[in-house]
Chain A
Amino acid sequence: MKGPLFSTAILLVGVYVFLAFLLPLVTAPLPASLIYLYLAITLSGAMIYQTMSAGGLEAFMGPIYRFLSGEIDGPAKSARLLLLIVFPLLVGWQTYTKLAPSDLPPAENRTIHPAPPGEFVGLANPYPANEQNIQEGKGIYAANCSPCHGPNFDGKGTAAPGFNPPPANFADPGTIAQLQESYLFWRIKKGGVGLPIEGMPWKSAMPRWEHELTDEKIWKVIIGEYDGAGQSPRTWEEEE
């Protein structure tokens, strides 16, 4: 049992084992959608490599043709019959599991950073990021935000384990560092209920802070957040 087909099968199994079982030993498990995506890329690569030469194509596809066309007899015949029975059953089972009523919610493709409403676009923070405003902002943050977003701005507040999805980790370069200050102003002021449909407002427990904090305090907490998380807001002007 050697040859390109066999090595491709081994490669796919190896990649699957790595993604599904080994990688979760050091980090969070990957969703099935990502595992299948990486497997598809691996399979494409294997097919490209194996079919480059005429001999390679024959070595890769030949056994499949011979097995399915009935050229090979003996135990292969029983395997072929088994495949012809099992394959439609697998397709049927897969279809059934996809269509059968279930109490599980569907896989979600939530948009984490949906577009803000027009009235929040282009707003600039009217307060400078000086030491006084940073400290003031951090104070407001400690009083109102840190229970969820954490004293280290990493989303690990004492209340964080109670939320799904968890509070945003501001230290992650994929969160507030990608956004302008006006975006944060909108998200803090209007909270989770202010999200558009694609942002799934029902998935966010962020309070609507406009009832608790003045605009001035919101702008200052933004200054404090960026400084505490060690990030900079997205701007179109370079800092002096």
Chain B
Amino acid sequence: MYGRPLHILRNSTFPISGVSLLKWGGLLVLLLFPILAWAQDAATQAMSVEYRDLPGIGSRNIIWIVAQQHLLLAGFVLGVPIFAWVCEIVGWKTKEQRYDKLAKEFTKLLTSAYATTALFGGILLFLLVGLYPKLMAYLTDIFFPSFIAYCLLFIAETATLYMYWYGWDAMQGNKKFLHIFLGFLLNLFAIGIMIVPNAWATFQASPVVVADGTAIERAWAAMQNPTWWPVNIHRLIANVVLGGFICGAYAGVRYLLAVTREEKEHYDWMGYVGNFIGVFGMLPLPFAGYWLMREIYQYNQQMGITLMGGFLAWLFILQAMLIGVLFLGANYYFWLGIAHRIPGSEGQYKKPIMAMLVVLLACLAVWMTPHSLVASLAEAQKMGGTHHPLLGVFGVMSAKMTVSNLMILVTFMSFIMYWRAGKVETAGWAKAAKALMGVLLAIAGIAVIVLGVWGYFVPAIIRINYFSVAQVLIVIFIMVTFTPLTALLMKSAKTTTEMVWGQMPVRAGYSLVLNAVMVILLMSLMGYARSSSRVHWHIYGVMRDTSDYAYSPALGYAAAFMSLNTFVFCLLAAFIFWVATLGDKAKNQPPAGGEEAKVPPLGSAAPAMAGGSPRQGELSS
């Protein structure tokens, strides 16, 4: 359609005058108008695109995979600096080099994973902008000032990480304090990097939209939505758990591959520390999760019921199973430690272990019992519905809260038992202290159960506001009284059986790997639950999902995706760690002549994180 006018122009023989120039100019504008209009149309059309799709896999699925990988990697990258830094401080204070070495090893894993996390973040951003342009335009409009803050935090985090890692050896001795300050900054920026995007995600679930005010005021109001801080706290703790168990799994694999005695001892100890950090973080995690769910319920009853009573409620049965396996795995590892690291103590602790195992299993059975049971028609007829008249009481929150508190209590006691194993208290007040602890533990256990049973007979608000909180406080009270009391007892205790590192059976290494897989599955599961609770809304109650994918996938389909995400993340983590440790292989060749490397003696102070007991060689030196 443009061919003819251009031809006229090319073949023009008219004399050029002012009038004709104006005439031809006007004609040119007239002729170009369709092109301009067409370009404008194209721009308008591009602006009006709400969704794009990726053939084959689908836009939602690719976002699901990439976002989950990014979140898991980010969880690791943000969780590890916390305990790496704590480890470094412990090493600095106790003057034990092995803590510094361990902190450095943790940081090595962190630096390797950092770039991959950023890579997945970039891919996620491009995919979101490309596949969900309307949603991203809306979020950008609200959150733009926070995008700038995020970029600045990211730059600061990256620079600090470089200085922290590359300056490790240079900042020893009297410069150590500077290095520790860098570690503090690293964690500070890391928390910032976590909470800013949390605001974007939680805004989608519990939006606070303010029409008036400056861009910064609107962004700040949107950030302070009802679920922002519950998610921040929950994720912060969960990141420590994830980081701890993944480092534990790394140590477990390295332990299985270890050739020299020194390597075996080091990775056995590292595995113990990883498991300890994972368990330490896992203890408060259910409380944080409970707070988050409470906020969701209070924000919107519909969303709360969708999650806890509606079609997503089955996810919480799977969650119970995964957490149960995690608790069992973590305790199994402690018990294996007693049986194998402290020779001869196995028989002494067999009965307490049996008792703790029975309590854990009974709690797990209650936790996993659904409110509505899966039953055939004939079974449902016999029960009088899908709600069992006797065991149906296990299906409500009062029962779940009670057993989760008991499991935390048992796991804590498992750790205390491990700490005390192979030692005899010599303090004059030891007997009285142990009796006191026994009485307190019994009272705490009974109180948690009584509050749980009583919870069935009081209004929900009383149970939620007082009974559940009281149960949590009871468990915390036990932890904060037993830990210093045990530390005091152990300070003057006499070691009867030396703790031997590097003697754990191979199944200990596998249980560390299992724990890590469980945590990854758990995070994939709850990530799906959190996203799906918005049902057909991009931004709950504000922007509806009008794409072809505005439906919740079936639970079986979702479970397959969670498994896929877990598998992909495990592959990624294995690859990253393999690359990170390529350089170590040459260094760690066994010494010539097959002689085992001598283990350097340790200091006398052995904190709980170190296993609470000196290594072999320490006492004889």
Contact = CB atoms under 8 A, between A and B. Distances in A.
Nearest to A44: B328
The binding surface of chain B is classed by DSSP as: helix
A95 interface: no
A52 B298 CA distance: 45
A162 B541 CA distance: 41
B372 A238 contact: no
A114 interface: yes
Contacts of A111: 309-311, 313, 372
A53 B328 contact: no
Contacts of B302: 115-118, 121
A94 B358 CA distance: 32
B141 interface: no
Interface in A114-151: 114-118, 121-122
B379 A52 contact: no
A238 B461 contact: yes
Contacts of A114: 305-306, 309-311
A165 interface: yes
Interface in A148-172: 164-166, 172
B429 interface: no
A231 B332 CA distance: 42
B388 interface: yes
A173 B397 CA distance: 11
Interface in A81-123: 104-118, 121-122
A8 to B, nearest CB: 13
B372 A41 contact: no
A41 B457 CA distance: 29
B309 A31 contact: no
Nearest to A109: B374
A213 B369 CA distance: 37
B543 to A, nearest CB: 15
Contact of A31 (B346, B375, B457): B375
A31 B373 contact: yes
A206 interface: no
B396 interface: yes
B430 interface: no
A12 interface: no
Contact of A45 (B306, B339, B361, B541): B361
B386 interface: yes
B317 to A, nearest CB: 9
B396 A174 contact: yes
Contacts of B373: 31, 33-34
B393 A173 contact: yes
Contacts of A41: 324, 361, 364-365, 368
A55 B381 CA distance: 48
Contacts of B507: 51, 57
A117 to B, nearest CB: 8
B461 A107 contact: no
Nearest to B346: A53
Interface stretch (A68-76, A176-184, A216-224): A176-184
Contacts of A54: 340, 505
B22 to A, nearest CB: 62
A121 B461 CA distance: 18
B461 A235 contact: yes
B386 A112 contact: yes
Contacts of A238: 461-462, 465
Sort chain B's interface into a size bin.
35 or more
Given A52-B335, A57-B505, A174-B371, A42 B361 contact: yes
Interface in A3-41: 23, 26-34, 37-38, 41
A174 B395 contact: yes
A67 interface: no
A62 B384 CA distance: 46
A127 to B, nearest CB: 18
A240 interface: no
A107 B541 contact: no
Contacts of B460: 177-178, 232-235
A129 B376 CA distance: 40
A79 interface: no
Contact of B306 (A115, A182, A237): A115
B456 interface: yes
B547 interface: no
A112 B372 contact: yes
Contact of A34 (B314, B369, B382, B397): B369
Contacts of B390: 23, 26-28
A85 to B, nearest CB: 30
Which of A48, A57, A117 has the most chain B CB within a 10 Å cutoff? Answer: A48
Contacts of A65: none
A236 interface: yes
B357 interface: yes
Contact of A112 (B309, B378, B391): B309
A164 B395 CA distance: 21
B461 A112 contact: no
Interface string B289-318: 000000000101111011001110110000
A236 B299 CA distance: 10
Contact of B301 (A31, A45, A121, A232): A121
Given A110-B372, A174-B392, A198 B310 contact: yes
Given A116-B305, A183-B301, A198-B310, A49 B372 contact: no
A29 B346 CA distance: 40
A236 B298 contact: yes
B377 A104 contact: yes
Given A41-B364, A236-B298, A108 B375 contact: yes
A11 to B, nearest CB: 11
A51 B371 CA distance: 33
A166 B383 CA distance: 10
A45 B461 contact: no
Contacts of B353: 49, 52
Given A111-B309, A174-B396, A31 B332 contact: no
B52 interface: no
Nearest to A118: B302
Nearest to A113: B309
A151 B372 CA distance: 25
Nearest to B300: A121
Contacts of A182: 301
Contacts of A31: 373-376, 379-380, 383, 388
A232 B456 CA distance: 11
A216 B305 CA distance: 25
A96 B504 CA distance: 44
A235 B459 contact: yes
Nearest to A42: B361
B582 to A, nearest CB: 34
B336 interface: yes
A174 B396 CA distance: 6
Q: Which 4 pairs, one residue from A and one from B, show the smallest C-beta to C-beta distance?
A: A232-B459, A113-B309, A165-B385, A31-B375
Interface of A: 23, 26-34, 37-38, 41-42, 44-45, 48-49, 51-54, 57, 104-118, 121-122, 164-166, 172-174, 177-178, 180, 182-183, 198, 232-239
16 contacts: A28-B389, A29-B383, A30-B388, A31-B373, A31-B379, A41-B364, A48-B328, A53-B346, A54-B340, A54-B505, A114-B306, A165-B380, A178-B460, A232-B459, A234-B460, A238-B461
Given A54-B340, A109-B374, A111-B372, 5 more contacts: A31-B383, A34-B391, A113-B305, A115-B310, A165-B380
Interface of B: 298, 300-303, 305-306, 309-311, 313-314, 324, 328, 332, 335-336, 339-340, 346, 353-354, 357-358, 360-361, 364-365, 368-369, 371-393, 395-398, 456-462, 465, 505, 507, 541
